[in-house]
A and B are shown apart, each in its own frame.
Chain A
Amino acid sequence: MNQVEQKFTWKRALLYACLLLVAVVQIFPLIWLVDFSLGSSNEMFTNGLLIIPEKIRWDNYVTAFVDGHFLHYLKNSILVNVTAVVFVIAISILAAFAVTRMKWKLQGFVKTLLLMGMMIPIHATLLPNYVIYDKLGLTDSFWALLIPYVAFSLPQGLFLTCSFMDSIPKELEEAAIMDGCSIYRIIGTVITPLMKSSMATVAIMTFLNNWNEFMMASTYLSSNKWKTLPFSILEFTGQYSSNYAVQFAVMALTAMPAVVVYVLLNKYITKGVAMGAVKG
């Protein structure tokens, strides 16, 4: 008995050590980010792993907040990202239902077509999209960001949602139909509540992917009106060398909402990925 317990704790110790190591590797960049954001630009280039700032420079954050128009960009970022997440989830569920549950002629074809969006590199679309937006008068608008964000997140979202939906027993729907449910009611009251963890996964993926997106935003936007958080860093980028400390402060502030979203939805995401992966 004693021996077993001993073995047990060793195993546990090893397990904890491994977990701790992973945790440190995961969390260290954040610690590093916050640490350097409190120093001065000059202290940045040390050989050490972390720095002990001579003077804690909270003013970096003040500068980031005021000169970086942080609140304005944050508002835009949240608005665009939340809308994109809502669209992606709604379209994913409806489309997944259509291509996995409903039987129609082009079912497989449409599914492949939608999933093929994953293969298109963003850079190849920048110029053609710009020209299209230009003709439609959509450049520098909310839609100029929302449309590509939804479009590029959709294939991934659909993929996860489809495989997750496959694991929901058909009998539930059959029962619902017996009771006289319409298709939309089946999706709304039977399927969707069962898809919580898949929705959380899709939400997190969409949100994190688009939160730091800069290439498309910088091409399709020109005025300050709809610019998102990554633009904030630019305000401290000099022509040759930059104000690194303030940039770090901006990045720490930018990372915060993403971390909060991750922590809030985290308990669902592992479940979602695992369940979606082992479809029947």
Chain B
Amino acid sequence: MKKKIISLLLAAAMVCTMAACGNSSGQENASSNAKAEESGSSDAADAVEPADAPALGSQEGAAASAEPVAIKVFSNLTDRKSGQGFVEQTLFDQYMAENPNVTIEVEALDDEAYKTKFKAYASGSSMPDLVNVWGQPSFLDEVIAEGLLAELNQDDYAEYGFLSGSLDGFSKEGKLYGLPRNTDVMAFYYNKAIFEEHGWKVPQTYAQLNQLAKDITAEGMIPCSMDGADKWPISIYYQDIVTKILGDSQQDVRNSVSTGDFSNAAYKQAAELMQESVEAGLFQNGFETSDYGTAQNLFTNGQAAMFYMGSWEMSMANNEEISPEVRDNIGIFMMPVVEGGTAQVTDIAAWNGGGYAVTQNSAVRDEAVKLLNYMFLPENWSKIAWENGVCMSAQNYADFLTGEETSVQLAFTDIISSAASITGVTFNDLGDSEFKTNSEDLSAELAIGMVSPEEFIAQLEAAAK
């Protein structure tokens, strides 16, 4: 009995101390942020020396005149040998070669671990200088509110050719805090050879898409592979249907999320249409548990006729590991319009997601901004990313067309240049991080029929409020 009481007391004491720790660290954090903001640049300049000390030795011979600078980069691109990580590393290497006094240290973690570590950094004193950010309220709002990011000078980027609207997600109250890395467009990839062989046609209306799903299922194939385990592709699919009913609806959707009013009939109609498609067998069996790789491989192995995913997968068309029967036959089409709606097929689901920002408390803030500006010179990120077929940048890359693009790359370029409207950040990323989790869970539940369209709307409204 005595032991029991003691352990109970202990447990209580532990909880108390933990809570106390949490509080005090939170306060410290806020106060240190405030302090940094007040003290401004002179403080930052003082702090340069200790940060640079370790780099001194190695750099002495190379550039005795320029002061050595070490820039710490925190990136979510862990694979430095391919994809966007390769482009990023190439630019860093170039920059270090051109500026021998600069050393760039990259720390890379993948999304989940990145976000945890980002919080840790935010509560400590050693925030890296250049960080990866997402131009979505669900991530950026809290970070900006904490005063973690440095404001960028918008005039610097007048000549950079950023597409109109692409900087919006990285701006708050007229101030610019980051630069977007790419433009993402959601589309159906389809296997032209399979379509031709069976006489299937690219659907022009949503009803035709459902019919197509039935036709393909009847032949014993999977119509469209879907990454349901990650949930965000389903959310974007839903948003895509809404867009194909309402047309240019960026502002409407933003208002809906901020006010929690989803009474517009289009939301319910889109929910019904999504369930209809699932019933028609559009997605593979058990799509809600298929992860990204599984879904993609159903398509690249020729088991699925279509694959609903973003433009970043355009590199499938020059991926040597995919068999030529699939690789050379990839086509794309956009979500078809819904009959009776006011939308055109050129109202597309597209946004600028990942990007970079410089941290406010960085000891080498000016150098980090210089590096950022260098990376996004049009002939750098835009050009290298395009030539490697990695992604479409958020800048105008028309000058860098080489004539050797894959048909998929060209098709995406056409879609972007002829778009009547774009959705911007999709609805699931418009609220706070809690809304993101809730709305994505809801989308998945809607897709598998766990909630009815009415319940979906009601719960979505509750989540937004």
Contact between B293 and A45 (Cβ–Cβ < 8 Å)?
Answer: yes
Tell me if B80 is interfacial: C-beta within 8 Å of chain A: yes
Q: How far is the CA of A237 from the CA of B114 in the complex (A)?
A: 13
Q: How far is the CA of A239 from the CA of B132 in the complex (A)?
A: 13
Q: How far is the CB of B30 from chain A (nearest CB, A)?
A: 13
B80 touches A45 (CB 8 A): no
Are A112 and B117 also in contact (CB < 8 A) when A134-B125, A139-B124 are? no
**Is B81 within 8 A of A67, CB to CB?**
yes
Number of interface residues of B (CB under 8 A): 52
* A238 interfacial contact with B, CB 8 Å: yes
CB–CB B83/A42 < 8 A: no
Give the interface residue-count category, chain A. Answer: 35 or more
Evaluate whether A223 and B14 lie within 8 angstroms (CB atoms) in the complex, with A130-B120, A134-B126 already known.
no
* B10–A112 touching, CB < 8 Å: yes
Q: Say whether B126 contacts A239, CB under 8 Å.
A: no
Find B120's partner among A126, A241, A242 (CB 8 Å cutoff): A126
**What is the bound-complex CA distance between A42 and B321, given in angstroms?**
7
Asked if B297 and A42 make an inter-chain contact with CB atoms under 8 angstroms apart, the answer reads yes
Asked if A74 is at the interface (CB within 8 A of a chain B CB), the reply is no
**A interface footprint on B81-103 (CB within 8 Å = 1, 0 otherwise):** 11111000000000000000000
> Which residues of B have CB within 8 Å of A40?
321
For B230, give the chain A residue with the smallest CB separation: A240
Cα distance A49–B322 when bound, in Å? Answer: 21
Interface string of A119-142 (1 = CB under 8 A from B): 100001011101100100001000
Q: Is B7 within 8 A of A130, CB to CB?
A: no
Task: Report the nearest B residue to A120, measured CB to CB.
Answer: B14
Closest to A139 in B: B126
Q: Is the CB of A116 within 8 A of B322?
A: no
The answer to whether A131 touches B7, judged by C-beta atoms less than 8 angstroms apart, is: no
B78 near A42: Cβ-Cβ < 8 Å? no
Q: Which of B281-319 contact A (CB under 8 A)?
A: 292-294, 296-298, 300-301, 312-313
Pair count A-B, CB < 8 A: 108
B120 to A, closest residue via Cβ: A130
Asked if B107 is at the interface (CB within 8 A of a chain A CB), the reply is: yes
A70 contacts chain B at the CB level, 8 A cutoff: no
Given A116-B14, A234-B110, A238-B79: A130 touches B124 (CB 8 Å cut-off):
yes
**Given known contacts A45-B301, A218-B117, A234-B108, A109 and B6 CB-to-CB distance under 8 angstroms:** yes
In the complex, chain B residues 54-80 whose Cβ is within 8 Å of any chain A Cβ: 72, 74, 76-80
Residue A222 at the B interface, CB < 8 A?
A: yes
B25 touches A131 (CB 8 A): yes
Q: How far is the CA of A113 from the CA of B3 in the complex (A)?
A: 11
Judge whether A173 is part of the interface by a CB distance below 8 angstroms. no
- Are B124 and A131 closer than 8 Å at their CB atoms? yes
Nearest residue in B to A128 (C-beta to C-beta)? B21
B125 cross-chain contacts in A, Cβ below 8 A: 134
B79 touches A108 (CB 8 A): no
- Whether A243 and B126, one on each chain, are in contact in the complex, defined by CB atoms closer than 8 angstroms, is no
CB within 8 Å of B: which of A240-270?
240-244
Chain A residues with CB below 8 A from B83, complex form = 238-239
Q: Is B18's CB under 8 angstroms from A128's CB?
A: yes
CB of B201 within 8 A of chain A?
A: no
Q: Interface code B336-349, partner A: CB below 8 Å = 1, 0 otherwise?
A: 00000000000000
- Does A235 lie at the interface of the complex (its beta carbon under 8 Å from any beta carbon of B)? yes
Interface core residue of A41, A44, A124, A128 (most chain B CB under 10 Å): A128
Among A130, A214, A241, chain B packs the most CB atoms within 10 A around the CB of A241
For residue B465, CB closer than 8 A to chain A, the reply is: no
B116 on interface, CB distance cutoff 8 Å: yes
Q: Report B-chain residues with C-beta under 8 Å of the C-beta of A41.
A: 321
Contact B84 A239 (CB under 8 A): yes
> In the assembled complex, how far is the CB of residue B12 from the closest CB belonging to chain A, in whole angstroms?
12
Hey, which chain B residues are within 8 Å of A36, CB to CB?
Answer: none
Interface of A is mostly: helix
B265 at the interface (CB under 8 A from A): no
Q: Which residues of B contact A119 (CB under 8 A)?
A: 11
A44-B297, A139-B126 as given contacts; A239 in contact with B85, CB under 8 Å: yes
Task: Report how far A222 CA is from B74 CA in the complex, Å.
Answer: 9
B322's closest neighbor in chain A, by CB? A42
Chain A residues, Cβ within 8 Å of B301: 42, 45
Question: Is the beta-carbon distance between B296 and A241 smaller than 8 angstroms?
Answer: yes
CA–CA, A244 and B10, complex, Å: 46
Asked whether A219 is an interface residue with its Cβ less than 8 Å from the other chain, the reply is: yes
A234–B79 Cα gap in the complex (Å)? Answer: 7
Q: Give the distance to chain B from A118, nearest Cβ to Cβ, in Å.
A: 12
Residue of A nearest to B81 (CB): A67
Q: Are A116 and B116 in contact (CB under 8 A)?
A: no
CB contacts (< 8 Å) of A44 on chain B: these are 293, 297
The answer to whether A235 and B80 touch (CB under 8 A), given A45-B301, A139-B126, A241-B296, is: yes
Tell me whether A219 and B117 are in contact (CB under 8 A). Answer: yes
A73 contacts the other chain (CB 8 A): no
Question: B313: which of A134, A215, A240 is its contact (CB, 8 Å)?
Answer: A240
- One digit per residue, 1 when the CB lies within 8 angstroms of any chain A CB and 0 when it does not, for chain B 2-17 equals 0100110011001000
B299 to chain A, nearest CB (A): 10
A164 at the interface (CB under 8 A from B): no
Q: Which B residues are in CB contact (< 8 Å) with A237?
A: 78-79, 110
Residues of chain B contacted by A130 (CB below 8 angstroms): 120, 123-124
B116 touches A126 (CB 8 A): yes
Shortest Cβ gap from B304 to chain A (Å)? 11
Nearest-neighbour CB distance to chain B for A6, whole angstroms, equals 49
Minimum Cβ distance to chain B for residue A29 (Å): 19
Contact between B107 and A222 (Cβ–Cβ < 8 Å)? yes
Contacts of A235 in B (CB 8 A): 78-81
A128: B residues at CB distance < 8 A: 18, 21-22, 25
What is the distance, in angstroms, from A220's C-beta to the closest C-beta of chain B? 8
Instruction: Indicate if the CB atoms of B79 and A236 lie closer than 8 Å.
Output: yes
Of residues B22, B124, B292, which shows the largest number of chain A Cβ atoms within 10 Å of its Cβ? Answer: B124
How near does chain B come to A13, taking the closest CB pair, in angstroms? 40
The 28 sampled A-B contact pairs (Cβ below 8 Å) are A42-B301, A42-B321, A45-B294, A109-B6, A116-B10, A124-B18, A127-B123, A131-B28, A134-B125, A215-B113, A219-B120, A222-B72, A222-B126, A234-B109, A234-B110, A236-B79, A237-B78, A237-B110, A238-B79, A238-B82, A238-B83, A238-B85, A239-B79, A239-B85, A239-B312, A240-B312, A242-B293, A244-B293
Interface set of A (CB-CB < 8 Å, partner B)? 40-42, 44-45, 67, 108-109, 112-113, 116, 119, 124, 126-128, 130-131, 134, 139, 214-215, 218-219, 222-223, 234-244
